[in-house]
Structure 1
Amino acid sequence: MDGVLPSYLTLVLLVQCYVLCLVINEPILNITFDQSALLALKACISHKPHNPLTTNWSTSTSICNWIGVTCGSKHRRVIVLNLSYMGLSGTIPPHIGNLSFLVSLSVANNSFHGSVPSELSRLYRLEEMDFHFNSFNGEIPASLGLLSRLRVLILRGNSFTGTIPVSLCNISSLGQIYLGFNFLTGFIPSSIFNISSLQIVSLQKNELSGPMPTIFFDMPSLRIINLSKNKLAGGLPRDMFHHLSKLEQFEVSHNQLYGKIPPTLFKCKQLYFLGLWGNNFKGRLPPEIGNLTVLTNLYLGYNNFEGAIPSEFGNLRNLVEFAMDNNNFTGLIPYEIFNISSLQYISMPENKLSGQLPSNIGLFLPNLQVLYIGGNQLSGTIPSSISNASQLIGLDIVSNSFWGLIPNAIGNLRLLRILYLGYNNLTAELASLFSSLSNCQYLTQINLSANLLNGILPSSVGNLSASLQRFRLSQCGIRGSIPPNISNLSNLFLLSLHRNALAGPIPNTMERLQKLQLLDLQSNKLEGPMLSNLCRLKSLYYLSLNSNKLSGRIPPCISNLTSLRHLYLAFNQLSSVVPLSFWSLTNIEQVDLSLNFLSGSLSIDIGEMKALNILDLSINQLAGEIPTTIGGLIDLDSLSLAGNRLEGSIPESFGKMVSLKYLDLSNNELNGEIPKSLENLSYLKFLNVSFNKLRGKIPTGGPFVNFSAASFMSNDALCGTPLLQVPPCKEGPRPKQVAIVHILRYVLPTIGLLILGVSVVIFLTKCKKIKNAKSSSEVELPPLATWRRVSHQELLQATEGFSVSNLIGEGSFGSVYKGTLSDGTNVAIKVLNLQVEGAFSRFDAECEVLRNIRHRNLVTIISACSNMDFKAFVLEYMPNGNLGMWLYSDSCFLNMLQRLNIMIDVAAALEYLHFGSTMAIVHCDLKPNNVLLDEDMVAHVADFGIAKLLVEGDSLTQTMTLATIGYMAPEYGSEGIVSSRGDVYSYGILLIETFTRKQPTDSMFDGEMSLKNWIVESLPTSVIEVCDANLLRNESDYTATEECLSSILELALGCCADLPEERINMKNAFVRLNKVMPFLRLLTYDMEREKGSGEQEASQEAETTPKCGTTNDEETKGKRAENARRGKHGGNAKRSVGRRKPEDRVLKASEGHFRNGVLDVKHLLRPTPSTVNDSGSHRVTKGKTKGGGKKNGAVKYLLCDIMNMET
C-alpha cells in the first residue's frame, strides 16, 4: 500500500506538468501565426532606405515590441496594427487575415497598391479599418460585409472602382463610412440609411449617379452626409430631413440636383455646414433659413435661386463663410448681414443685387477677410469705413456701377492681397491713390480697368508692393508715358494697360520684369521702334502691341522668346521684312501681324511652326509666292494673307491643312487654278479668294457647296456653276460633235455667204426706214445685251399714265414712279426733268456708265426709254423702301446686326465704284434715302448712274453742287473739289447716322457742334448715350454692345476726317467691317442662346417684325417674316465677304479678342495704311485710273445724282 501511494502521486504530478506545458505553449504557437502574417506583410513592402520595418521587424525580438504593433495584455496577440504615415510602398498579402485578434488595422497615408484581399473578412474582431490615401485599386470586396463588429471603414483617397457593395449595409454596428475620392460608380444603396448606428456617410468625389436615396426611418445618430462632386440627379426627397434631427453637416455640392429646397431642412437646428453649390436648385430662400442659428458655413453658389435675400440672414450670428455666387438674387443686400461680426468670407458676385453699401460697412466686421460682390448692379460710392475691416485680404467690386473717388483709405488695409475695382465709374487722383496703396505690402493683384481715372500714370506706381503679380489698368483714359520705374514690380507676371492713351516709347527698363508672362499694351499711342529689350523677357507667353504707332522692324531677337504662344503686333507702322529668326518660333500658337507695312516674302520655314492655329498677315506688302511648306501647318484653324502682293499659284499643299476653318487670300496677285485639294478641308467654313487673277474651274466638292459668289468675285478667268456668278466652263468636244464639225466645215462657208447677203439687204432696208422716221417716239439705246426693250407706251400703261397715285418720290432732277410691266414685273421708273440744264448729256453719260458696271449692291437697271422729249430709266423695284424710312419710322426697327449688314453692302458698292470697275466712279450724293432695300433687306445704292465725263485735261472741280448738305465733304462744298475721298466722307457720316439715328441736319447741330464733333466728344466714355437707344432694348450684354458700337463709330470718324488725305479708302473700310461681322454674329448668337430663344420666341419675332416696305405682295412679306425668324439679314447670310454663321465659331478667340469674357472688336476695325496721293485722289492699281487721268484707255467719271429724289 505504501508503494502504491508514491506511484499515484507521481502520475498526478506528471499529468499536471503536461497540462501546464500545453497552457504555456498555446500562446507561443498562436503568436507564431501572428509573426508569420507580419513577416509576410514585411516581405510585400519595398525595402527602401527609409523603411522603418527593415531593421525593426526582426525575429530576434518579440513582435509585441515591433513598431506599429500592439499586443493584448491577456493573450499577447496582435490587436492593433498601425503603419500609417510611414512612407511604405507595397501590397497587402492575404496572410493578414490570420491576425484573428486584430481590432484595428490602419495603413493610411502610404503608397500601398493592388487590391484589398478578401481574406480580411476573417478578421471577425475588427472594429476599425483605415486604408485612406493610398493607391489601392479594383473593387471593394463584398466580403467586407462579414465584418460584423466593424464600426469605422475608411477607404477614401484611393482608386477603387465598381459599385458600393450592398453587403456593407449588413454591418449593423457601422458608424462611419468614408469612401470618397475614388472612382466608384452606380447608385448609392438606399439600405445604407437603414443602419441606425450610422453617424457619418462620406462618399464625395466619385462618379456616383442616380437619385438621392430616400430615408424612411429616423436616423438619430447621423450627423454628417457628404455626397459632393458626384453625378447625382433629381430633387432632394421632401421628407428627407424629417428623419435627420441631429444633422450637423449636409454637403451635396457639384452634382446635378434640382428643384426647391425641402422646408424640413430648416428644422435641422444643429446644422452648422450647408453646401448646395454647383447644382440647379431654384426658388426663393425662405425666411425660415434664419432658424439655422448655429450655421457657420453656407454655400449656395452656381444655382438658380432667385428673389430677395431674406433679412432673417441677420439671425445667423455664427456665420463665418457665406457664398451665393452666380444666382439670380435681386434687391438689396440686407444690412443685417454686415452686422454679423463673425463673418470672414462674403461672396455674392454675378447676381442682380442693387442698392448701395452701408456707410458703416467696416465697423461691425472686424474679422472680414474676403468681400466679393462683383458683377451686380450695385451703385453709390465706396464707403471709407471699409478701411476699418483691418483683416481684409480680398476686395472685389468689379463690374458694378460704383462712382465717385476711390478712397485713399483703402491703403490702410495693410493685409490686402487682392483689389478688384474694375469696370465701374470710379475716379481717382492717381498719384495719391498709388501712394496710399504702397502701404499694402502684400498686394498681389490689382484691377482698376474700365473706370474714369483719366490721368497720368504716376511714377509712384513703382512703389507698389514688390509682391504684385497682376496689374490691370486698361480702358481708363490713362495718358502720358509708361513710367520707367514700373520695372520695380519685379514679380509681375501679368501687365495689362491696353486701350488707354499712353504715348511715347516702351521703356527700356521693361526688360527687368523677368517673370512677366502676359504683356498687353494694345490700343494706345505708343511709338518708336519695337524694342529688342522685350526679347529678354524669357517667360513671356502673351504679347499684344496691337493698334499703336510702333515703327521700324520686328527685332530678329524675337526668336529668343521661346515661351511665346500669342503674338499680336497688328495695326502699327512696322516695316522691313519679317526676320528669318521669327519663323523659328515653332511653339507659337497665334500670330497677328496684319495692317502693317511688312515686306519681303514668306519663308519656307513657315511650315515648321506646327503649333500655329491662327495666322493673320493680311494688309501688308508681302510679295512672292506662297511656299508649299505651309501645308505642314496641320493644326491651323484660321489663315489670312489678304491684301498683300502675293503671286503665283495657290499651293496644292493647302489641302493638307485639315483643321482649317477660315481662309482669306483675297486682294493679291495670285494666278493659276484653285487647287482641287481644298475639297479635302471638311471644316472650312469661310473662303475668300476674290480680287486675284485665278482661272479655271471652281471646285464643287467638299466645303465648296456652301460658298457664295462673294468668295470668288473679281477673278475674270474663273468658271463654274451659274450660282457663283461666273461663266460656265467650256467642255472638250465629244466624238459626235467632232464629226459634225468636220461635216459643217464644208457647209458653213456657203451658209455664211447666204446669211451675209440677206443681212446686207435687211440692213439697207432698215437704214432707209430709220431715215424716214426720225420723229419716231422711240430711239435705240447704246447697246447693252441684257437690257429689255420698253416703249413709252408700255411705261404709260405701267404707271397708269404716270398717275400721282404711283408717284413714290421726286426731286430736283425728276420723279420716280412705281409701275408694273406687261409681264407682271414691278419696277421703279425714273423720269428725267428735261428742263434741268444738261439733262440730255447726263442721260447719255449714264448710258455709257451702265455699259460697264454691274454689282449686287447697286440698283439694277432693267431698261431705258428715250426720245427728244422723254427720257427715263426702268429700275429694279425695291419693296422695302430706303434706309431713311427704316431709321426714322416709329413702326420699323433695325437691330445692330442688320444695320451693320446694310452698311457693309453700301461699302461693297462704293468699293466697286472706286476700285472694281474699269473706270473710277464717284457717287457724290450718298445719304440714307439713296440706300434702297430689297425684299431680303439687302442694300442697293441708288442714283449712281448720272455721271459727268471727265476727259483728259479737265480739272477735278464741279461748279454745280449736286450733293446734299450735311453729307458732302468739306472740300466739295467749299472748293468744288471731288474725288473718291468725298464719297468716303459721306459714308462716314452715313455710318454715324445709321447707328445714332441722328441726321447731320438735326436742330441740335448748330454753330460749332456737328454730328461728327458730337461723336468725337462722346468717344470712348459716352458711346451708349449717343447711340440709338433702340439698339440696346434687347441686348443683354451692354459691355460687348458698347464695344461694338464704339469701334464702329471710330471707323466712321476715320472715314470723315476733315482732310481728304487722312481718310481711309473704301477698300479698307469694307475689309474692316467684314472682319468684325463674324464676332458680332457670335455675340448675337450667344445673347440669343443666353435668353433661351427657341422656336416659339423666333416665331414671335417674325410676327412682330415691322414690315415697312410698300409692297402688298404676301409672298414677299412671308419671306421677310421668315428671314426675321431666322435672325438673319434677310436670309442672305452668305452674300457678303467675311460673313459666317455664328455657330461655326471659326475664329478661336484669343485673349487679345476678349476682355473678361467680353468681346473686344476694336482692333478688328483699325484703319489701314493710307493709299492716297497728294491731291487726295486714290492711287488706283491693277489697271484702274490713277489720280484724275486715264490709264489703258479707261475714262474716269464723276458720278452724280440727277434726280436728288426723296424716294
Structure 2
Amino acid sequence: MEVDPTNTIKGNNWTVEANFCEWIGVVCSNRRQRVIALDLSHMGLQGRLSPYLGNLSLLTSLDLRNNSFYGMILIEIGHLSRLKELILELNQFEGNIPHILTQCQNLEVMSLATNRLTGGIPREFGAFRKLQQLNLSSNDLQGQIPSFRGSISQDIDSLQKLQKLYISANNLTGMIPRTIGNMSSLHKLDIGSNQIEGEIPSEIGNLVNLERMSLGVNLLTREVPREIRGCIPKEMGFLKRLTFLELSDNALDGNIPSSIGGLERLQRLYLDNNHLEGLIPNEICNLTGLGELLLQQNRISGSIPKCIENLSSLQMFLISLNNMISVIPLSLWGLQELIFLNLSHNSFNGRLPLEIGKMRAIESIDLSWNRLTGAIPSSIQEFESLALLNLSRNSFQGSIPQSIGHLKGLEFLDLSYNELSGMIPESLEALAFLQILNLSFNKLSGEIPNGGHFGNFSALSFIENEALCGNAIFQVPCCKVNGMKSRDKRLHILYITVPIVSVILLVLIICLLRKHGATSEKALVLMLVYKGTLANGIDIAVKVLNLHIEGALKSFDAECDAFRMIRHRNLVKVISTCTNANLRALVLQYVPCGSLEKWLYSNNYNLDLLQRVKIMANVATAIEYLHHGQPEPIVHCDLKPSNILLNKDLVAQVCDFGIAKILAENKLETQTRTLGTIGYIAPEYGSEGKVSTKGDVYSFGILLLEVITGKKPIGEMSNADISLRQWVGASIPERVLDIVDTKILRMKHEDPTLSKFNSIVLLILELGLECSKDLPGERMDMKTIMVKLNKIKLSLP
C-alpha cells in the first residue's frame, strides 16, 4: 500500500518510532508479534496494494473497505492460506477476479462489491468449502451466471455452507442455472439488476432455508416455477422461511400462484412491472405478516380479495395500472396500518363507503383513473396523517366535503375530471401545507377562496368549471354582490375573443414565415416557440404550429396524444392545448435554464463531468419511462441536445414529441416517412423507414458521446468524412483525454493523475458506443442503460 507513515489516521500516528503492532487497524498475535489482522476500512487511503502483502502468512482478516485503492487485485493474496475474511468492497479495483484466490481454502467471507471488476466469475470458486458469504455486486462482471458445476463451482457440494450470495448490479447474462437449487444452506440470494433471461428454475424450490430472494430488474420471462404454482403439501409449506421476495421489472407472465399463500413468513412481496394476469388468489390472505405488496403495472384482473382484511400488518398496497374491476371491498378500508394505497389506472367502480375513515395511519391515497361514483364521504376527515389524495379521473358527484379542511397535513389534492358541484369549501384555506391543488374539469360554482395557499395556485387549478368567480389571477369573473353569475355573458365574450386572438396569431405566423422564407415543404412543422406569462406570474412556453406544412395537423395530434398519456419529472409538462380552425398550439411548462445545446456550446456556460452524467441519467430515466412505463411504448424519434431542457437545478426535462410514434401493444416497430435529425437518427430509419424503441437507444448513444466530447455528430471532427461514433471508436481506450470536451478538463481539479477520471470517461464512451451499434438487435434497452449510467454516476465524487 502506498501510505505515508507520517500521516495521522483517525487520531493515531503511523510512525516508524512506534511498533507497527500499535498502529491503528493492525492486530498482532500476542506471542510472536506477527500481524494476524488488518482493518484499514473507512480511512480515506488510496493507491495500489503492495505485493508484500502476500508475506503476511498468518493473516486471517483483511478489511480494506471504503477507501480509494485501485489497480488489479493482487494475486499474492492467494498465498494467504489462513485468510478467513477478505473485504475489498467500495474501492476502485479493476480487471479480472484472480483465480488464485481459491487457494485461500479457509475463506468464510469474501466481498469484492462496488468496484470496477470485469470478466466472468471464476469457475474455480467452486473449490471453496468453508465460504459462507460471497458478495460480487455492483461491478461490471459479464458472462453467464455460474452454473455451480464447472463455472462458479466444479463440485456443488463444496459450497454447501454458502449462506449469502450477492451478484446483483452487474452485466451477467444467460439463464439462472438449475444447479442453484443444490445450495441448501442459502439464506439470501440477490441476482437483481442484471440481464438474466429465461424462466425461473423450479429447483429454487429446494432452497428451504431461503429468507430473502431478489431477482428484480432482469429479463426473466414465462411463469413462476411449478413448485410455487402448485399445491402446498400439508406437511410443509414452500419456502417457509422466506421473508422477502422480489421479482419486479421482468417479463413474467401467467397467474400469481395460489401456493404463494404458503410463504407464511413473507413480509415483502414485489411482483410489479411484469406481465402477470388472472386473479389475485385468495391464498394471498394467508400472508398475515405481509407489510408491502406491490403488484402494479401488470395485467391482473378481477377484484381485490375480500379476505384482504387478514393482512393486518400491510403498510403498502400498490396495484395501479392493471385491469381490476368491481367495487373496492369494504374489508380493504379496515387495514389500520396501511400507509400507501394506490389503486389508480384500473376500472374499479361503485361508491366509497363511510368506513374509509378507519385507516388512521394512511399517508397517500391514489384512486385516480377509475370509474368510482357517488359522493366523497365526509369521513375522509379521519385521515389524520394524509399527505396525498388523488381522486381525479372518476365520476364523483356532489359537493367537496368541508371535512377535507381537517386534513392538516395534506400537501397534494387532485379532484379534477369529476362531476363535483357546489362551492369550493373555505375550510381548504386552513391547509397550511397544501402545495398542489387541482379542481379543474368539474361543475363547481361560487367564489374561489382567497386565504391560505390559494394565492399560490394558478388558474389551471380551476379551469373548465361551471360558474366560478373570484380574484382576477384565477382568470374568472369577479363575483357579484348578489351572488348571481354571468356565465352566458362570459362565454359570449370568449366566443368573440378567441377567434380574434387566433386570427392575430395566424397573421403574425404568416408574416414571420414570409419574412424568413419558411413556407416551403422543408420548413419545420413546429415554429417559433413563444415565452408567455400568465396573470398569476407563472411563465409558460407556447409552441405554435405552422399550418402551412403538409402533415402539420397530424404531427400536432401525435404530440398531443403523447403528452396526454405521460407525466414524469424528467419530461416537460403540457399545461393545455389550443385548437380551432385557424390555430394549433401547445401551452407547456417553461423550463428556465434553456437547452442542453446552449450549455454545451456557449462559452458562457459550463458543465462538469458529474453534471453531464446526471443530466444524461435524467434523460435515460425519461426515455425508459416512455418505452417501458406505458401500456403502449412511446418512441421519441428526435433525441438531441436542443430537445433537452434544464431547470434551475440543472435537472433535465425532455421535450418535443412532435414526431413521436405511439407503438401498438406488443408491436416493436412501425413504418414512417418522418425522420428525426441527421446525425442522431438510427441507420434503420433512413434505409427502411423503421421506427422502434431501439432507434431512441441509438440517438441516446450518439447524444452521450456528444455530451462527453463536446462535438456534434457530423462534421466537427478533424476529418469531416468521419462520424462522431467512428472518431470516438478510433480514439479509445488509448486517447480518451484527447477527445474529452476541454471544458470538462478545465474544471477538473482533484485526482492529479486523472486515472480515475480517465476510467470513468472511458466507461461512458463505451456505453455510448454500445447504444449506437448499427444493428438494432445488438443495442441494449433503456432499462439496462439507466442502471449502467446510474452506477457510473454513483462512482463519481
**TM-score scaled to structure 2, two decimals?**
0.65
Residue in structure 1 matched with residue 198 of structure 2 by the alignment? 455
How far is 1:902 from its partner?
Answer: 11
The alpha-carbon deviation at position 811 of structure 1 amounts to 2.1
Cα distance, 1:573–1:274 mapped onto 2, change above 3 Å: same
Asked if 1:474 is matched to 2:225, the reply is: no
Task: In structure 2, give the amino acid aligned to 1:355.
Answer: G
2:162 aligned with 1:416: yes
Relative distance call for 1:700 and 1:1009 in structure 2 (3 A) is same
Residues 557-576 of structure 1: matches in 2 within 5 Å?
557-576=307-326
1:366 to 105, 109, 115: 105
Cα pair 2:84 2:109 within 8 Å, conserved = yes
* Unpaired stretches in structure 1, ≥5 consecutive residues: 1-237, 242-251, 277-291, 734-780, 821-826, 840-854, 865-871, 907-924, 943-962, 972-980, 1035-1090, 1097-1153, 1160-1207
- The SS at the match of 1:622 is strand
Q: Aligned with 1:401: secondary structure? A: coil
Q: 1:809 aligns with which of 518, 523, 534?
A: 518
Q: Quick one: which amino acid aligns to residue 168 of structure 2?
A: G
Q: CA deviation at 1:349?
A: 2.3
Return 632-641 or 716-725, whichever deviates more. 716-725
Cα distance in 1, alignment partners of residues 663 and 269 from structure 2: 42
1:387 to 2:67 alignment: no
| Secondary structure, aligned partner of 2:205 | helix
CA gap 1:1155/1:425 in 2 versus in 1, 3 angstroms: closer
Helix, strand or coil for the counterpart of 1:509?
Answer: helix
- Aligned mate of 1:294, from 19, 34, 40: 34
- Displacement of 1:623 in angstroms is 0.9
Q: 1:692 to 1:395 in 2, by over 3 A?
A: same
Deviation at 1:530, TM superposition (A): 0.9
Instruction: Tell me by how many angstroms 1:712 deviates.
Output: 2.8
Aligned residues of 1:293 and 1:316 also touching (Cα < 8 A): no
Letter in 2 for 1:389: F
1:501-525 per-residue CA deviation (whole Å, 9 max, x = no partner) reads 2211122222221111111111111
Paired position in structure 1 for 2:225: 483
CA distance in 2, matches of 1:665, 1:988: 39
Residue 332 of structure 1: CA displacement?
2.8
Q: How high is the sequence identity, in percent, across the aligned residues?
A: 30
Deviation at 1:813, TM superposition (A): 10
- Partner of residue 114, structure 2: 375
1:356 maps to what in 2? 96
Distance 1:647 1:803 in 2: 48
The secondary structure found in structure 1 opposite 2:134 is strand
- Within 5 A, what are the aligned runs for 1:182-201? none
1:679 counterpart SS class: helix
8 Å CA contact 2:144–2:172 kept in 1: the answer is yes
The question of whether the paired residues in 2 share the 8 Å contact of 1:535 and 1:561 is answered with yes
Q: 1:830 and 1:405 mapped to 2: Cα distance?
A: 51
CA distance in 2, matches of 1:791, 1:429: 60
- CA distance in 1 between counterparts of 2:683 and 2:403 reads 60
Deviations 1:583-606 (A, max 9, x none): 111122221111111111112111
Query: 2:739 maps to which residue?
Result: none
Q: Counterpart in 1 of 2:733? A: none
Match among 406, 421, 426 for residue 671 of structure 1:
421
Partner of 1:405: 144
Matches within 5 A, 1:694-1093: 694-731=444-481, 787=501, 806-807=515-516, 809-812=518-521, 895=615, 998-999=680-681, 1003-1005=683-685, 1010-1012=690-692, 1014=694, 1028-1029=703-704
Q: Deviations over 1:181-226 (max 9, x none)?
A: xxxxxxxxxxxxxxxxxxxxxxxxxxxxxxxxxxxxxxxxxxxxxx
Pairwise mapping of residues 415-564 of structure 1 onto structure 2 (< 5 A)?
Answer: 415-430=161-176, 433-435=177-179, 437-464=180-207, 466-486=208-228, 488-564=238-314
Query: Taking structure 1 as reference, are residues 667 and 880 closer, same or farther at Cα in structure 2, changes over 3 Å only?
Result: closer
Alignment deviations for residues 61-97 of structure 1 (CA, whole Å, 9 cap, x no partner): xxxxxxxxxxxxxxxxxxxxxxxxxxxxxxxxxxxxx
SS in 2 for 1:375: coil
Q: Which of 386, 410, 419 is residue 636 of structure 1 equivalent to?
A: 386
Q: Structure 1 residues 344, 582: closer, same or farther in 2, change over 3 A? A: same
Matches within 5 A, 1:1112-1151: none
- Residues 296 and 693 of structure 1: is their aligned pair in 2 closer, same or farther, counting only changes over 3 Å? farther
Contact 2:578 2:584 in 1 (8 A): no
> After the TM superposition, which residues 67-106 of structure 1 pair with which residues of structure 2 at under 5 Å, given as runs?
none
Once residues 328 and 584 of structure 2 are traced to their aligned partners in structure 1, the CA distance between those partners, rounded to angstroms, is 53
Deviation at 1:692, TM superposition (A): 2.0
Structure 1 contact 575–599 (Cα < 8 Å) conserved: yes
State the alpha-carbon separation in 2 of the partners of residues 273 and 898 from structure 1.
43
Post-superposition offset of 1:617? 1.3
Q: 1:575·1:598 contact (CA, 8 Å) conserved in 2?
A: yes
Cα distance 1:786–1:886, how it changes in 2: closer, same or farther (>3 A)? farther
CA distance in 2, matches of 1:375, 1:564: 33
2:758 is matched with: none
Query: Aligned in 2, Cα 1:506/1:318: closer, same or farther, shift over 3 Å?
Result: same
Distance 1:890 1:240 in 2: 44
Q: Deviations over 1:525-578 (max 9, x none)?
A: 111111101111222222111111111111101111112221111111111001
Residue 266 (structure 1) shift: 8.3
Query: Using the alignment, how far apart are the partners of 2:305 and 2:586 within structure 1?
Result: 57
Q: Give the aligned residue type for 1:807.
A: H
How do 1:113-132 and structure 2 match up within 5 A? none
With over 3 angstroms needed to count, the CA separation of the structure-2 counterparts of 1:476 and 1:989, relative to structure 1, is farther
Q: Give the match's secondary structure for 1:682.
A: coil
> Could you tell me which residue of structure 1 aligns to residue 563 of structure 2?
none
**Among 667, 679, 693, which residue is 2:443 paired with?**
693
Letter in 2 for 1:299: D
TM-score (normalised: structure 1): 0.44
> Which residue does 1:270 correspond to in 2?
21
Residue from 324, 344, 368 that aligns with 2:84: 344
Per-residue deviation at 1:785?
A: 8.0
CA spacing shift, 1:326–1:585, aligned 2, 3 Å:
same
- Any conservation in 1 of the 2:75–2:100 contact (CA below 8 Å)? no
Instruction: Describe the superposition over 1:1011-1034 as per-residue Cα deviations: whole angstroms up to 9, x where unpaired.
Output: 22635xx9xxx7997573169859
Structure 2 portions without partners, runs of 5+: 229-236, 484-494, 531-541, 553-573, 627-635, 710-743, 750-785, 792-797
Cα gap change, 1:813 to 1:470, in 2 (>3 Å): closer
Residues 329/673 of structure 1: CA separation in 2 closer, same or farther (3 Å cut): farther
Instruction: Name the SS of the counterpart of 1:702 in structure 2.
Output: coil
Query: Could you say what secondary structure the match of 1:582 adopts?
Result: helix
Tell me the matched-pair count. Answer: 621
Gap change, CA 1:790 and 1:273, over 3 Å in 2: closer
SS at match of 1:371: strand
1:347 to partner: Cα distance: 2.0
Cα deviation for residue 791 of structure 1 reads: 13
3-state SS of 1:629 partner: helix
2:596 touches 2:646 (CA, 8 Å); kept in 1?
no
Write the distance in 2 (CA, Å) between the matches of 1:505 and 1:875: 42
The one-letter amino acid of 1:652's match is: Q
- The CA RMSD measured in Å over matched residues stands at 5.5
Q: Which whole-Å CA distance do the structure 2 matches of 1:700 and 1:368 have between them?
A: 70
Name the CA distance, whole Å, in 1 between partners of 2:183 and 2:112: 21
Provide the residue aligned with 1:650 in structure 2: 400
Per the alignment, in what secondary structure is the counterpart of residue 492 of structure 1?
coil
Structure 1 residues 310, 239: CA separation in 2 closer, same or farther (over 3 Å shift)? closer
